[in-house]
Chain A
Amino acid sequence: MAHHDHRTPRGKRYWLDRKRNVAKVFYALIAIDVLWLAADFFYKKKAEFEGLGGWADGGIGFYPVYGFVGAFLLVLAAKQMRRVLMRPEDYYDREERSGSS
C-alpha cells in the first residue's frame, strides 16, 4: 500500500508535505475558478452556436459547468467500468503461460 509517512527518509520536509499546504493549493484553485467564472460578465463572447436554448456556447457559465460536470461524470462512469473491465495484473500472462506449457 501507499506510504502515508510524510517525512522523507532524508528528513527533509517539503512545502507540499504539509496537509495544510495541500489545502491551500485547493483553495487557490477555487479562487482562480471564481475569477474565471467572473470573467464571463466582463467581456463580449463570440458565440459559435445557439444550442441548448442559446446557453451553449454563448451563455454565462457554459464552459465552467460543462468542464466541471463533464470531468466529474467521466470519472464516476470510468469507476463503474472497472466492475466489468478490471482484471488482475497477470490476467493475460497466466492464460498465455498455462496455455503454452
Chain B
Amino acid sequence: MLEFLLSPPLLLMLGSVALAAAPRSVLPRSVLRALLLALPAWSLWRFWGLDLGNHLQFDLFGQTLTLMRIDGLSRIFVVIFHLAALIGSIYSFYVKDNFQPLVGLFYAGSALGVVLAGDLWTLFLFWEVAAVSSALLVWVRRDGRALAAGLRYLGMQMVSGVLLLAGIVLLRHELGAAPGWAEFRNFTGLLEDGGLGFSNLAPTLILLAFGLKAAFPLLHSWLIDAYPESTPAGAVFLSAFTTKFAIYALARAFPGQSELIWIGGLMTAFPIFFAVIENDLRRVLAYSMTNQLGFMVVGIGIGTELAINGAVAHAFADILFKGLLFMAMGAVLYRVGHVNGSDLGGLYKSMPITTGLCIVGAASISAFPLFSAFATKSLIMSAAAHEHYFWLWLVLLFASAGVFHHAGIKIPFFAFFHHDSGIRCKEAPRSMLVAMVLAAAASMTIGLFPQWFYGLLPYPVDYQVYTPTHVITQSQLLFFSALAFATLMRTGLYPPELRSVNLDADWFYRRVGFRIQDGLATAFVALHRAGYALTGRLAATALALAQRHLGPQGLLGRSWLTASMALWVAVLLAAYLLVFYWRLG
C-alpha cells in the first residue's frame, strides 16, 4: 500500500492535497514552501532508484491495471516533469498565496500518472484528472476572461477525454482485455502495414484524443485561447505538462504513423504566420508552442529510432526553454500588467536580468549552436533527411527560420528593446529570477553537453551534432533570417504591433458556435413563449366555458325556484306514465 502512495503520481497528488489541507498554524508558509520543493525532489530521487519494468499492478473490476511502467520512453518524461514542477513552484513564490504551486504540483502528479500508466484505463484516469486540475490553473487568475477561457478549455479537454474513453471501450470490445501498450501496438500493427488508414475506429478515436491535446491543426485553438489567460505562474505550469504528455502518448502508441508526418509538418508551418501578427506576447509563445509540437509530431511520424529520440529530446528541451520564455513574459506581465507588444518596449533598462534570461530562452528555442534546441531539433531534421523527405525537410527548415523570427527575435525585441515605451518598473521578483536562472542553466546544459543529455534518451544515440556542416548551415539560416527582420524593420515594411485579436479555429466555437447557441436559445425562448401563450389561451377558454355554464348565472349553476322544480318533476312523472301505458298497450 505504501508503495502505491509513494509512487511519483500519487505522492505528488496526495502530497499537495495534504499540504493544502494542513492549517496554517501547524504549517507556516516557509515550511510549506520547503515541503513544496522537497516533495518533487524526493519523488524524483525515489524514482531514480527503481528498475525498468512494470510496477504496482492491481486488479480492479476484473481488469489488471498497471500504475507504473518504466522504460526508456517514460523515464525521461518523468525526469523532466519533476524538474518542471520544481522550477514552476519556485517561480510561483512571487505571490504569498500558495494555491498555484499546490495545484501545479497536483497537476504535475497527474501528468506523471499519464506517462507512467501501463495500460489505457490508467492512462484515461490520469488524463481526466490532468484536464480538471489544469483548468484550475487557468481559473486562478480569477477574472471574467479567465473564467470563460477556462470553461472553453475544460470543454475541449473533455472532448479529448470522451474520444479516448470511446476508443478504449471499442478496443476493449475487440481485444477482450484491459488494453496494455503491447496489445495496443500489436493491434494497430495488424492493420494495413502499420498504417491506420483510418480503417479502424478505435485507434482513430484514440489518435484524435491524443492529437487534440497535442494541438493538431484545427484542434489547437484551446491552447492559444486558454494559456495566455492564466496567471504568470499558471501559464508556466500549463506550458509544461498537457501537450508534452500528449506527445509521449503519441510516441508510445503511434510511432511511425505516416499521417503524423504531414500533420506535424502543417503544425510547424501555420502557427508562425499567426505568431508574426499576434500582439499578446504570451499568445505568440502559445503559437510557437504549436510550432515546436509540430517538430515532435513529425519525429514520431517518421518513427525511426533517431526520429523518436529527436521528438522526445525536443519535448524535454521545449519544457525548459518554453517555460523560460513564459516565465520571462510572466515577469513582464507581473511588473507591467500586460504583455501587449504594441505597448511595451525599452524594458531592458528596468529589467536587465530578465532581458538576459529571455534572450537565453530565445536563443534556445531558435536552435542557435550551443543552445538546447540545436542539440534536439537537429535529430529530427536529420531523421527527415535520412528518410529522404525532401519537401518536408524544406517545410521544417522554413519553420526553423520562422520560429527564430517570431519567438527568437519578436519576443525579446518588442518587450525589451524596440522604442522606449517610457515604462519604468522594478526588476522581476527574486523567486522568478531564481526559477528562470535554473531553467536557463538546464537548457544551456543540453546545448553545451549534448552527448551527456543523449544518454537519457529512449534509444542509443550515435549522432554528432557539432559538425562544421551543422553549425555553419544553421547559423547561416538564422543570421540571414535575422537580417530579413532587420531589413523589414528599417524599411518600415514590418507590420506594426496592433491592439487586436486574430481569428483562429476557436472562432468556430466562439463566434459560429456562439451564434448557433444564441439562435437555439432564442428559438427555445420563442417556442416556450408560444406554448405558454397557447396554454394560457386554452385555459382561459375553458375557464370562460365553465363560468358560463357553472357560474352563478350559468344554466347548471344558478338556483332555481322550487315551484319550477315541482313543475318539472310533474312533467317528468307524466312522461314516465305515458311511456308506461304505451309500453303496456
What B residues does A67 contact at CB under 8 A? Answer: 401, 476-481, 484
Which of A40, A45, A71, A87 contacts B500 (CB under 8 A)? A87
A12–B277 CA distance with the chains assembled, in angstroms: 32
Within 8 A of A (CB), among B97-143: none
Within 8 A of B (CB), among A1-45: 2-6, 8-10, 12, 14, 16-17, 26, 29-30, 32-33, 36-37, 39-40, 43, 45
Which of A4, A8, A33, A43 contacts B424 (CB under 8 A)? A8
What A residues does B468 contact at CB under 8 A? Answer: 43
Which of A8, A56, A78, A95 contacts B514 (CB under 8 A)? A95
- Asked if residues B420 and A70 are in contact (CB atoms below 8 Å), the reply is no
Which of A5, A46, A57, A81 contacts B420 (CB under 8 A)? A5
A74–B410 CA distance with the chains assembled, in angstroms: 13
A25–B488 CA distance with the chains assembled, in angstroms: 15
How far is the CB of B3 from the nearest CB of chain A, in Å?
Answer: 49
- Asked if residues B277 and A81 are in contact (CB atoms below 8 Å), the reply is yes
- Asked if residues B482 and A29 are in contact (CB atoms below 8 Å), the reply is yes
**When each residue 390-424 of chain B gets 1 if its CB lies under 8 Å from chain A and 0 otherwise, what string results?**
10011001100110110000000000011111101
Within 8 A of A (CB), among B458-505: 467-469, 472-488, 490, 493-495, 498-504
Chain B residue nearest in CB terms to A16: B417
A99–B511 CA distance with the chains assembled, in angstroms: 11
What A residues does B214 contact at CB under 8 A? Answer: none
A12–B352 CA distance with the chains assembled, in angstroms: 15
Answer yes or no: B540 CB below 8 A from chain A CBs. no
Which of B345, B478, B503 contacts A2 (CB under 8 A)? B345
Size class of the A contact interface (CB-based, 8 Å): 35 or more
Answer yes or no: B524 CB below 8 A from chain A CBs. no
**When each residue 68-83 of chain A gets 1 if its CB lies under 8 Å from chain B and 0 otherwise, what string results?**
1111101111110110
- Asked if residues B476 and A75 are in contact (CB atoms below 8 Å), the reply is no
Size class of the B contact interface (CB-based, 8 Å): 35 or more
A82–B486 CA distance with the chains assembled, in angstroms: 21
- Asked if residues A70 and B398 are in contact (CB atoms below 8 Å), the reply is yes
- Asked if residues A68 and B484 are in contact (CB atoms below 8 Å), the reply is yes
- Asked if residues B479 and A36 are in contact (CB atoms below 8 Å), the reply is yes
What B residues does A14 contact at CB under 8 A? Answer: 349
Answer yes or no: B449 CB below 8 A from chain A CBs. no
**When each residue 370-396 of chain B gets 1 if its CB lies under 8 Å from chain A and 0 otherwise, what string results?**
000000000000100110101001100
Answer yes or no: B27 CB below 8 A from chain A CBs. no
What A residues does B573 contact at CB under 8 A? Answer: none
Which of A33, A88, A92, A93 contacts B479 (CB under 8 A)? A33
- Asked if residues B420 and A91 are in contact (CB atoms below 8 Å), the reply is no
Answer yes or no: B510 CB below 8 A from chain A CBs. yes
Answer yes or no: B518 CB below 8 A from chain A CBs. yes
Known A-B contacts A29-B486, A46-B467, A74-B401; the reply to A68 vs B277 at CB < 8 A is no
Answer yes or no: B276 CB below 8 A from chain A CBs. yes
Which of A76, A77, A85 contacts B493 (CB under 8 A)? A76
Within 8 A of B (CB), among A42-65: 43, 45-46, 48-49, 51, 56-57, 63-65
- Asked if residues B419 and A96 are in contact (CB atoms below 8 Å), the reply is no
What B residues does A3 contact at CB under 8 A? Answer: 419-422
What B residues does A29 contact at CB under 8 A? Answer: 479, 482-483, 486
How far is the CB of B69 from the nearest CB of chain A, in Å?
Answer: 36
Known A-B contacts A3-B422, A86-B502, A87-B500; the reply to A70 vs B488 at CB < 8 A is no
Question: Which 5 residue pairs of A and B lie closest in terms of their CB atoms, listed nearest first?
Answer: A71-B484, A48-B385, A67-B480, A78-B276, A63-B476
Given A71-B485, A74-B276, 9 more pairs with CB closer than 8 A: A5-B422, A12-B349, A16-B348, A36-B472, A49-B388, A56-B390, A67-B480, A75-B493, A95-B514
- B residues whose Cβ falls under 8 Å from a Cβ of A: 145, 148, 272-274, 276-277, 342-343, 345-346, 348-349, 382, 385-386, 388, 390, 393-394, 397-398, 401-402, 404-405, 417-422, 424, 467-469, 472-488, 490, 493-495, 498-504, 510-511, 514, 518
30 example contacts (A-B, Cβ-Cβ < 8 A) are as follows A29-B483, A29-B486, A33-B483, A36-B480, A43-B468, A43-B469, A45-B472, A48-B385, A63-B477, A66-B401, A66-B477, A67-B476, A68-B483, A70-B402, A70-B481, A71-B484, A74-B273, A75-B405, A75-B484, A75-B485, A78-B274, A79-B495, A81-B277, A82-B500, A86-B498, A91-B501, A92-B501, A92-B510, A95-B510, A96-B514
